[in-house]
Structure 1
Amino acid sequence: MREGTAVKGMSGTVKNSPVSQDMTAEPLMRRTLAAISHYKMVVAGDKVLVGVSAGSDSVTLLHVLNRLTSCLNIRIGIAHLDHGLRPESAAREMSLVVGMAHGLNVPCHTGKVAAIPEHGSLEEALRLQRYAFFEDIAATHGYTKIALAHHADDNAETVLMNMLRGSGLRGLSGIPPVRENRIIRPLIGELRADIVAYAYQHALAYAQDASNADLRFERNRIRHQLIPLLQKQYNPNVVATLNRMAALCREEALWRDNCLAPLETRTTIRSDAHTLELRMDELVTQPRAVQRHLLRVTLRQWQGHLRRLGADHIEALLDLVARAGARSLNLPGAVLAQCVANRLCFKKVATPRRHNTIATAPSYHYSIADIGRQPMTLSIPEAECSLRFTLDNAADLESWRGPDRQTVLLDMAHLPFPLTVRNWQSGDRFQPFGLQGTQKLQDLFIDRKVARSCRQRIPLLLCGDTIAWVAGVRRGAAAPVTAATRQVLRVEIESMGEPRRRGQNL
């Protein structure tokens, strides 16, 4: 990342601009005022915490809200969080933001992420920490609103990301202008180009984040590759079109939620910290679309989120409800779904503490009878992880990113069911892929420097008596994918609580 300026001669601070009668002559100011009014973002007396990263979007938002403090009768403060990813530029960014706060004579609250997560989605983990930081500052210092600088281009990118993941109405609604009457986004209708033009016009200093051009990130590929392609070959106004579609989907989703709220109340029997129970008779008499909605909304309210719970899990739950008899399904986040009598019960599975010695490590043994058309997740609380099983067509693998240590691909035709998932036992041997002969698992763990305290928690995937995969460590020689393979079983290991390749709740 590098610190930059949008134009020569920019000052390092944002000067306090008095409210003038012709302020609304500036298009961006006029539109922002209209958005604040239309969505009822603030009321007189609100104390607004502005999240400022030092980028052009948040610096512009700060400048705009500061100019509007008098006419809106609000007070503002600044929050800036150092994510700890770029030490060489973080100090310059913080200095820039603190300088703005001093120039405006407004409070500035700064913080730093205590620990960068080692597993799961880095972007999602940091986003959650950022929102937690904002909420903590707001609660401590009496801020009634939190203003963020998401804009129309961000919204279009989010809609496309969710569309590519197969989201429903809520996902296609994009980034809400107001969330829970707490998070507000005054620039949500503005284009990125207009925001940069405003910063240029008012000589605002801001930092430029080079990671925004890193095409390893899905959002950046959509921003720099997909949207320009759509604009050039299909619709030059695609950003505005996606924002209009998002607004329509948001209105329809709100209408649907209001219409189905009484049914949701009738369906829910119990909802507490550990258990959610739903009435089966209320569920099964509804159209599948309504069942899908009820499951999503009740699970979201129970857990507080739907992270890692995708459309495939909801469809698997619907299939579970449709079948007769007692049955169960493991869901992400260590949640067990069970059909018992006339109830669909969700329970949070207790995750044991990590053990420091092999002697006290718990043993486990799971059997996988079959893999259906819908992906399946096996929660393994003893190992503090889960295995996700997905059946793919081999022809689709050419465009897939390819396996790593967290993923194994197996030829479905050469897998004798049931499969077994268990932990390491003394004397276990396996044949590593690409090598002749077998070796002791203990030797493999030593070679790969796997800590002794971790070895008995690592899941082993077996077909028959053959170890096909030492999860997260190395695959075996069984059921290799070849040119003749038609169907592929993809198995992925995920840590419990790890958000992996799921949509963001912005």
Structure 2
Amino acid sequence: MNSLIHKIQHHILTMQTSVQNKKILVACSGGVDSVALVHLVDAMQRQLHYQYGIIHVDHMLRGQQSFEDLQFVRRLSENYNVPFYSERIDIPKLVVQHRDNVQQRCRIERYQFFQQVMEQEEYDILLTAHHLDDHIETAMMQMLRGQKPIGILNERPFHTKCLMRPLLSIRKQELLAYLQTHRYSYRHDPSNDKDDYVRNAIRQHVLPQLAKVEPNYPKLMAYSLEGNQQDEQALNEAAKACLEHIQIEISKDRQIIDCNAFQKEASALQRRVILILLNYLYSNQNEEITYSKRLLNRIQAELNRIAGEQVVHLPNGYQVRRSYNRAYFEKRECLKQGTELSLSLNEIVQWESYTFQLCFQKDIQTFENSKQYYSLSDANLRIRTRREGDRLHWEGMERPKKLARLFIDEKIAKQKRDDWPIIVNERDEVLVVPYLRCRYDVRLNESDEQTYMLIVERN
């Protein structure tokens, strides 16, 4: 097993960031991968000269089992006499509050805690136990989303610190064999056995079939992904150089670019420039921000115009505002009470982090899981902010209910209520409150005899 240690040491030494004389924080869930990482980090400490501590988050999803995971990792840190940091976070409660999925909320809260400890305890590097199998699964998920597969990066900035993944060249089976050889114990999370997550389905059903076709697929795919990452790095460097020529102002809260200069660049560089500018905007956000392909295409199309003025709303209160030949990536002022937009047939309308499209129902062939489809008979629709006295009468209710009460019952944060889009008809009757409720005569995610379909996507 010394060969495994040498392999990981070599991998670490080829990274840009040196670990020597640094304070390293090791994220450990208690499972095979992260427990192996802890033992390996301890074994390499003398040769690579660093200090390390261990950090663990109990997401409180599995009751006593997950609490026992925490106790297990605590004992592991005590055995090695290293600092231990832990937090119990009520993820089920937070998922309801934020109305997002469990996996995303776990990741957000976990990395917020990691950042907090690193800042307070002055750690330089965060280590996570992502391995070669994770690398390949991520690449496959990227392809399923229509993205170029690059997998997971060896290292990346983590706020003002660095996040490193020293196990990316190691198969999970190698880590398991290492633990078994040394008789190291570990915890098992039964949720990893389910295939209701895309990653688990790929792991359990796709990769075993791939191994039958090409047993050496991990090594071959890793080689291909390394090339893709190098290509991406080169293009990103070119995009940064391009940005220097088109930028007018770059600051923490606002970036201004020259659209005339932007339009002279190749389309591939334009897209990367947009991503760089968005990353500047969201650099201080703890939440991981993802951008839909439609949103990125809309920004790119807008920056290739110079006539008039237009605004593209972004997640978390930001916007891209183009005024003739200048584009501003900036924080958006709160929507004023009374703001409204008209919806025209086959036009795509952006409102905050929502995209709306009204079309004929006969044109819809399939329903995508990421969108909501509202079947209705009225094409004279408007999007507006809520108003005093707004009510909605949905199916199963004896009488209409005030939207103010609906927001409270659905635990929508106060700061989000005034910006939430409300769909009304020409009589100003509330038809749809996206992702919450629709009127009794509007059908959600099903076709009927009505003429029109309102498609809503939350970016």
Whether TM exceeds 0.5 here: the answer is: yes
Q: Which residue in 2 is equivalent to 1:19?
A: none
Distance 1:453 1:334, change over 3 A: closer
Letter in 2 for 1:440: P
Which is further off, 45-54 or 481-490? 481-490
Letter in 2 for 1:157: E
Partners of 1:363 and 1:227 lie apart in 2 by 52
Partners of 1:162 and 1:287 lie apart in 2 by 23
Partners of 2:145 and 2:26 lie apart in 1 by 31
Which is further off, 250-259 or 102-111? 102-111
Q: What's the offset of the Cα at 1:251?
A: 0.6
Q: Which residue in 2 is equivalent to 1:313?
A: 295
Partners of 1:88 and 1:313 lie apart in 2 by 42
Q: Which residue in 2 is equivalent to 1:173?
A: 150
Partners of 1:443 and 1:338 lie apart in 2 by 30
Q: What's the offset of the Cα at 1:336?
A: 2.4
Q: Which residue in 2 is equivalent to 1:17?
A: none
Partners of 1:273 and 1:308 lie apart in 2 by 20
Computed over aligned residues only, the root mean square deviation of the Cα atoms, in angstroms, reads: 3.4
Matched, 1:409 2:409: no
Partners of 1:84 and 1:448 lie apart in 2 by 25
Q: What's the offset of the Cα at 1:165?
A: 1.3
Which is further off, 191-200 or 130-139? 130-139
Matched, 1:150 2:130: yes
8 Å CA contact 2:60, 2:67 repeated in 1:
no
Higher relative contact order (CA 8 A, sep 6+): 1
- Of 393, 408, 424, the match for 1:462: 424
Partners of 1:257 and 1:42 lie apart in 2 by 23
8 Å CA contact 1:395, 1:486 repeated in 2:
no
Matched, 1:394 2:368: no
1:163-312 equivalences under 5 Å are 163-168=143-148, 172-180=149-157, 182-232=162-212, 234-304=213-283, 307-312=289-294
Partners of 2:113 and 2:41 lie apart in 1 by 21
Instruction: Name stretches of at least 5 consecutive residues in structure 1 with no aligned partner.
Output: 1-24, 353-361, 380-385, 495-499, 501-506
Matched, 1:65 2:28: no
Letter in 2 for 1:377: Q
8 Å CA contact 1:55, 1:208 repeated in 2:
yes
8 Å CA contact 1:167, 1:311 repeated in 2:
no
Distance 1:426 1:128, change over 3 A: closer
- State percent identity of aligned pairs: 20
Partners of 1:451 and 1:228 lie apart in 2 by 43
Partners of 1:448 and 1:124 lie apart in 2 by 23
Q: What's the offset of the Cα at 1:142?
A: 3.2
Runs ≥4 residues deviating over 6 A: 450-456, 483-487
Q: What's the offset of the Cα at 1:27?
A: 3.4
Q: What's the offset of the Cα at 1:418?
A: 5.0
Partners of 2:156 and 2:237 lie apart in 1 by 16
TM-score, normalization by structure 1? 0.77
Alignment deviations for residues 101-149 of structure 1 (CA, whole Å, 9 cap, x no partner): 2222222222233665222233223223222322332333332222111
Q: Which residue in 2 is equivalent to 1:330?
A: 313
Distance 1:63 1:41, change over 3 A: farther
Instruction: Name stretches of at least 5 consecutive residues in structure 2 with no aligned partner.
Output: none
SS at match of 2:289: coil
Matched, 1:26 2:2: yes
Letter in 2 for 1:45: N
Partners of 2:451 and 2:145 lie apart in 1 by 24
8 Å CA contact 1:408, 1:469 repeated in 2:
no
Partners of 1:434 and 1:111 lie apart in 2 by 42
Which is further off, 234-243 or 92-101? 234-243
Letter in 1 for 2:33: D
SS at match of 1:223: helix
Q: Which residue in 2 is equivalent to 1:95?
A: 71
Which is further off, 68-77 or 420-429? 420-429
Partners of 2:76 and 2:236 lie apart in 1 by 42
Distance 1:340 1:252, change over 3 A: same
1:368-383 equivalences under 5 Å are 368-370=342-344, 376-379=349-352
Q: What's the offset of the Cα at 1:152?
A: 0.7
Q: What's the offset of the Cα at 1:151?
A: 0.3
Letter in 1 for 2:433: V
8 Å CA contact 2:277, 2:329 repeated in 1:
no
